[in-house]
Amino acid sequence: MLYISCTFVSYDLIRVTRCDFGKQVLDGLQYLHWRGLTHLDLQPDNVLLTSARSIDVKLCDLGCAQRVSKQGTVVEQDRSYLPFTAPEILNGEPA
């Protein structure tokens, strides 16, 4: 669950802000799923606000993202494009 710390005076504004924030996070996840990706590392550190004055949310750190099929199964992919990946991970061995 994402925790948002707010210092606004009005409770209604806090509720609207949190709802808008949550909606944008869910919209971002829906877009990733529509593109056939799963994030797999969603945490508060990976959700960015682009401005302090408005709620504009960006999801970041897609390093753990996996490509999935429409049925939800993981699609094997060539990970040779990751130059800094440990050899154990590339070979499928436990790290």
Q: Is 22 exposed, middle or buried (0-12, 13-18, 19+ CB in 10 A)?
A: middle
41 given a catalytic annotation: yes
State how far the Cα of 6 lies from the Cα of 62, in Å rounded to an integer.
27
Active-site residue identified among 12, 41, 56, 78: 41
Give the residue numbers annotated as catalytic, written as ranges: 41
